[in-house]
Each structure stands twice: as structure tokens, then as C-alpha cells.
Amino acid sequence: MTANILARETSPYLLQHKDNPVHWQPWGAEALAAAKESDRPILLSVGYAACHWCHVMAHESFEDPETAAVMNDLFVNIKVDREERPDLDSIYQTALAIMGEQGGWPLTIFLTPEGEPFFGGTYFPPTARYGRPGFTDVLNSISNAYHRDKDKVKTNVTAIRQALDRISKPEGQGTLSLAVLDRAAASALGAVDPLHGGTHGAPKFPQPSFFKFLWHAHKRTRSPMFREAVTLTLDNLCQGGIYDHAGGGFARYATDEVWLVPHFEKMLYDNALLIELLTYAWIETGSPLYAARVAETVAWALRDMVSAPAGRANAFAFVSAYDADSEGEEGKYYVWSAAEIDTLLGADASRFKTIYDVTPEGNWEGHTILNRRVPDGLADAATEAMLARARANLLAVRAKRVPPLRDDKVLTDWNGLMIAALARAGSVFGRPEWVEAAKTAYAFVRENASADGRLRHTWCAGQARHPAVLDDYANMSRAALVLAEVTGSPDAIADAKAWVEAANAYHWDDAGKGYFLSASDTPNLITRSKSAQDNAVPSGNGTMLEVLARLHHLTGDAAYRERAEDLVRLFSTAEPQQLIHRPVLLMGFEMLERATRVVVVGAKTHGETKALADAALRAAPPTLVLTQIAPGAALPAGHPAAGKDAIGGQPTAYVCVGQTCGLPIQDGAALEAALRAI
């Protein structure tokens, strides 16, 4: 191959590299065939559009004609957007870990023409530094090894393949119970930073799934230790520099241990998961700070993170991310100087600077990252009104700066996360416009990112592309069930059932149980990964456990429970330290075993029916499963409220935990109080 053909692609990340002198190819049969025909190894480079170090390596090496000449001469060069192909990224990140290397992006891994890995790393500098060899030295040594030491390469390939195969076939090592979950949560507390929240050390990632698990533990055990771990973390996240105080939304992580200096990229998934966690924490705490950050983050998402096709009114989904860099500098778009604040805010500048840590010398590389260190959360109403006006002023000025690149891929799985978060937050905070936005995005993904009854992983530039992965089915099924619960319409439940059936048909492992990340008919994969470990996003298997549990509780169909129990058996372990890396799976198990099932019996046209449902949603415990039925309608066999009906012709609610139901409730305030007491 003698050309860079990435201009044919839709991925913003791949298009960033379309003018490189490197002869980049997208992953596929054509590139693999070229490697076999020329007997050259493959240089696989995996990254994403908002990745800072991906940009650094691109500027240093991929844009350099001399380096590109070496790459073109010695390798078939393939570029992959890890957000488009999480299945490929998972395989080769795992391979890198097997080699004993720390994973991350850019991923730089060397493969045989059959796609089998034998050496790799992440970022390589152009010349030796940071304790890493220079990139061209690596290129030459890898090429020499491939051609002159075939036996050693074959040995490496065989060992890595065997390890990959073992990892793709996990075996259950224990059983789960609520007591095991409590022990895992107690063990997880040891990882929490008692001063600043989050987990110990730096960099600090928000880890919303981990802290949602601790919130579940608090609700289950009423231990204040779990509650304080979560609220300490959320308080610091909401006030630190990792939060964009001018524009809303959270950055991907903080580079320090006090949440001051973010890595400025913003990802859809972090913000979706944090909206949901803050919403659940607000239900109990009533924290004005949490309510404010939810509203601001939703406003940011609906302002800056939507992709609306031209000519299609009221049709949009959510894009993926914003880069950290603008004009070649990380964070330039987001930081301020004291002089700028003085000029823009006038009489309000002094108070604003005190609250937001603005000083002449700055708090980061001579500039200021806005952050708040107010112990009690928010100030008085008059001060907060002034600050809101000031932030709006700054946002208007910032909008005139050169913005970071926006990755406008629509990813099905990440949209599922945001749809569920918006629907839940809208129901809790009484914001029907958020629920409507969730419904709009849901309809867009359902209509545009699917074909032949199956989902597609991406939609970009008017095209749905790439085979769905398990996470797409899991997150969209969960979003469907949350929407059905929030809107009272059962239509989306049928979608969830269909998507679960597709996952069962194409992702389920009949031999070893559990779901593979990639579908059985995805081409050009050397293996199919299978895991329940959560990373930046929830694991597909963990989320599917919650989906299956919800469907079982809603329908009474034993097949859903049986499949859920298969997942529990496969991914269980007796080691709490291993379990804390699977918090979504553990929360799914709790949903299966101890859901809070609320049944509202009443005519849809009766105002009190909606009042009861709204009360249940406002007070929603994390394990809520809400069912609305008409008087005289039957619940699924085995449901603890089976046989119960409206009393005295008035809408009636029943709250059931496990197999035990409380007394009938006909007042919304009483229902809300009962749920808050659980």
C-alpha cells in the first residue's frame, strides 16, 4: 500500500491523521491482506480524538516525513479509533498487559500479518527520553526481530495467544450474597482518600461506578462510612478544578490529588454517570450543590454535546467528547488570568476572585483554573446569583476563543448512559424537558444506529457503522427500561427485550456462559474478550446483569433470572479485592436479589395514579423497579404484590423489598416517605 486512505473514514480521530505522511490504513481485511502479501509486520496505533498524548506522538512522529518513511518502508500501518472499535482496543490492551506493560493511549502494538501481537507499548518519544527508547529505534529493532528471529516472534505470539484465550474463558470462583457485597464495600473503603475523596494518590479519576456501589452499600447497611466516602468525593469533585465552573461538565480526571488540575478533555460517559450518581445522592442529602451541578452539567450536555442532522427538527443524539487541547496547548480554552477577571467583572471581580481562587500568580502554570473551596458548598442566594451572572459573562467571552476539537461521533453505548441519566434526573428533579431530551436521543439512536434488528456501534457523518458491542445492547436496554419506568409507557420494554435477544444470539457464550464483548460474526478478530471488570465505563456483563434482573422483575420470566444467575456464577469470586473492580456486576446482583419493587395500581387517567408514580420516582432508591398497572390487572406470577389491587376504587401503591410488601399507600407524600426510609 502506498497511500494514506483515512480520508475515506468518518471518525474524527482517523480524519486527524488523514494528511500524515504515514500510509495509514483503517483496520480491515484489505490492510491485513497487504501485510500477508508483503510479509511485513503491522504497526497498530490506537487512540482517540481527545487524547493529549496521542496528539503529542502524532506531532513528533507521524507528521515527521523521516519517521513516516521508516514506518512505510518496514510496516503496514493501521490506525484505529478505540472509541469506534472498543473490541479491538480491549484485545490489544490486554495483550500489552500480558507483556507486562502499562496500558493506555496511544497504544502502539506490533502484530504479525495475521493480527497476532508480539511486542508493544504506548507513547514512544522520537528520541530516547523519559526512560523510553526512541521511536525509530523501536521500529528498526522490531522489524529486524520479525524478519531475523522468527522463532522468538512465534514463541511470543503463542504465549500471548494462549494467555488471551485463558482470559476470554473466566471461571467462577465463588458465590455472591448480600453479605459478600457488604464485605467488598468495606474493603473498598480502604482505597478511598479520607481527605480529598476519590481514591488515593494521583491522577484522580471520578470513578462514578465505584462510588455508586458505595452509595448502594450505604443505602443497604445505613453505615455512615459509606455515605461520607461518597459525599466527600462528590463535594470535592463539584468544587474542584476538574469541574468546568464557567461552562458546566466534568473533565476526565485530575492530574493531582486535590482535584485542582484537570486533564481538560471532557467525555460524555463521565458526565452521564456523574449526573446519575449526583441525582441519587441528592435524593437523600438534598444538597443544593449537587442539584446545581446536575442542572449545569445537563445544560452543558444539551448545549455543547448534541449532534443534530441538518434539516431534521427535534432529532439529536449526544456526541462523544471534547479535546483537552486548543491552539496546540492543553487547557488554553479553559484558564483565566486575574487581569481578565478584573476587566470582565468590574465591581464583582474581587468577590469572584476570592471564591474561585483567582490570584495574580495563578494556580497552574501562571494561569488560573477556576475552583471553589467553600466548606459548606454554596454561598447565600444573593452571592450565588451574582456568581451566576459572572460565570455567564465569562462563558460568553470564552465562546469567542478557539475551542477544543469536538469529537462528533455518536456512540450507541455512551448515548445509552446519558439517556438513562437524563431520564432519571428529570424524574427526580421534576424537569420534564430533560425526560423529553432523553426520549429524543433514544429515538435517534434507535432509528439511526441500527439495521436488520441489530444495533450499530457508531453514527457519524450520516452513516451508521461498525458492529455493535455488548455494551451497546446493555446500555441501550437499560436506558429503555429507565425510560419506560419514568414515562409510564411500556413501549420501550419491547425494545429492551429485543436487544437482549440480539445479545443472546450474537454475544452469549453457550459453552462457558457470559457475554463476549464482540459479536460472533465480527470479522478479523484473533479472539473475543469477555470480562465483568469496570473501567472508565461500566462493563457490558455487569450492566446486562441489571437489565436481566429488571426484566425478570417486570415480566416474571424465569429465563431472564436464569441467565442473570449464569452471569453471577461466572464472574463471582471469594476475594473482596477482586470484587471491588466489578461494582456494576455487584449492583446488578443486588437488583436481582433485593430490588425495591413499587407497584402503583390505578387508572392512567386518574390524577392520583400519576402522583403516586411521581412520588416513587422522586424518592427512587437505587434498586427501584416501578410497575404501573390498571385495577384488576395481574402482576407476573411470583411477584410479592400479586393479587393486590386498588383499594376503595382509589389508586394504591405497594412497596415490596425482596418478597415482603408493606401496607397499601394511597398518598404520594406517604409513599415518598416510605421509600426514603428504606
**Of 34-38, 325-329, 482-486, 560-564, the least confident:** 325-329
Residues 564 and 556: beta-carbon distance below 8 Å? no
Q: Which fold has domain 596-676?
A: Glutaredoxin (3.40.30)
* Gap between the Cα atoms of 188 and 579, Å rounded: 9
The pLDDT-based confidence of 453 (bands split at 50, 70, 90) is confident
Q: Are 513 and 566 in contact (CB under 8 A)?
A: yes
Q: CB within 8 A of 350, min separation 6: which ones? A: none
Work out the mean pLDDT of the chain and round it to a whole number. Answer: 95
Say if residue 376's pLDDT is above 70.
Answer: no
How would you write 392-461 as a 3-class SS string? HHHHHHHCCCCCCCEECCEEHHHHHHHHHHHHHHHHHHCCHHHHHHHHHHHHHHHHHCEECCEEEEEEEC
Residues 6+ apart with CB under 8 A from 71: 22, 23, 43, 77, 139
Q: Confidence class of residue 195 from pLDDT cuts 50, 70 and 90?
A: very high
Q: What residue type is assigned to position 328 of the chain? A: G
Please state the pTM of the whole predicted model: 0.96
Residue 574 has pLDDT above 80, yes or no: no
pLDDT value at position 489?
A: 87
- 94-125: per-residue pLDDT in tens? 999 999 999 999 999 999 999 999 999 999 99
Residue matched to cell numbers 457475554: 515
How large is the average pLDDT for residues 221-234?
97
First to last CA, the chain: 64
The confidence score (pLDDT) of residue 339 equals: 97
- Contact 246/390 with Cβ under 8 angstroms? no
- How do residues 231-288 score in pLDDT, each as one tens digit? 999 999 999 999 999 999 999 999 999 999 999 999 999 999 999 999 999 999 999 9
> What is the per-residue pLDDT across 645-656, written as a single tens digit (0 to 9) for each?
999 999 999 999
List alpha helices for 266-337, DSSP H.
Answer: 268-285, 288-304
Q: What is the pLDDT of residue 577?
A: 79
Q: Model confidence at 383, in pLDDT bands (50, 70, 90)?
A: very high
Grid cell 458492529 in the structure block, residue: 467
Residue 75 — pLDDT band, cuts 50, 70, 90?
A: very high
Q: How far apart are CA 221 and CA 280, in angstroms?
A: 16
| Domain 178-324+406-594: CATH architecture, name and number where available | Alpha/alpha barrel (1.50)
Residue 2 pLDDT more than 90? no
Average pLDDT over residues 209-236: 97
Judge whether residue 331 has pLDDT over 70.
Answer: yes
CA distances from 525 to 1, 90, 518, 522, 529 (A): 22, 11, 9, 7, 10
What confidence score (pLDDT) does residue 496 get? 97
pLDDT digits (tens, 9 = 90+) for 504-516: 999 999 988 999 9
**Mean of the pLDDT values across residues 44-67?**
95
Q: What percent of the chain has pLDDT over 70?
A: 99
Give the mean model confidence (pLDDT) for residues 12-17: 96
Inter-residue contact 609 to 564 (CB < 8 Å): no
Write down the pLDDT at residue 311.
56
pLDDT of residue 374: 66
Does the pLDDT of residue 79 top 80, yes or no?
yes
Q: Which amino acid is at 173?
A: Q
- When pLDDT is averaged across residues 58-66 and rounded to a whole number, the result is 97
* 6-167 CATH pick, 3.20.20.140, 3.30.750.80, 3.40.30.10, 3.40.190.10: 3.40.30.10
Is 391 within 8 Å of 245 (Cβ atoms)? yes
The predicted structure's pLDDT at residue 96: 96
pLDDT category of residue 1 using cuts at 50, 70 and 90: low
Residues whose CB falls within 8 Å of the CB of residue 135, separated by 6 or more in sequence, listed in order: 57, 60, 61, 67, 124, 125, 126
The alpha carbon dihedral of 257, 261, 265, 268 has a sign of: positive
Intervals of CATH 1.50.10.10 along the chain: 178-324+406-594
- Specify the length of the chain in residues: 678
Rg of the chain, C-alpha, whole Å: 26
Question: CA 266 to CA 655: how far, in whole Å?
Answer: 39
- Of all residues in the chain, the percent with pLDDT exceeding 90 is 90
Q: In whole angstroms, give the CA distance from residue 232 to residue 234.
A: 6
Comparing CA positions, the residue from 115, 91, 111, 112 lying closest to residue 103 is 91
Mean pLDDT along residues 549-562: 97
314's grid cell: 427535534
Write down the pLDDT at residue 312: 66
- Kindly state the average pLDDT of the residues 664-672: 97
Whole-Å CA distances, 293 to 204, 243, 354, 434: 19, 9, 20, 15
Q: How confident is the model at residue 578 (pLDDT cuts 50, 70, 90)?
A: confident
Residue 129 clears pLDDT 90, i.e. is over it:
no
Query: What is the pLDDT, as a whole number, of residue 310?
Result: 60
pLDDT tens track for 17-42: 999 999 999 999 999 999 999 999 99
Contact 419, 276 (CB under 8 A): no
Pull the grid cell for residue 373: 473551596
Q: 90, 81, 28: which is closest to 515 by C-alpha?
A: 90
User: Tens digits of per-residue pLDDT, 490-542?
Assistant: 899 999 999 999 999 999 999 889 999 999 999 999 999 999 999 999 999 99
What stretches of 122-258 adopt beta strand conformation (E)? 253-254
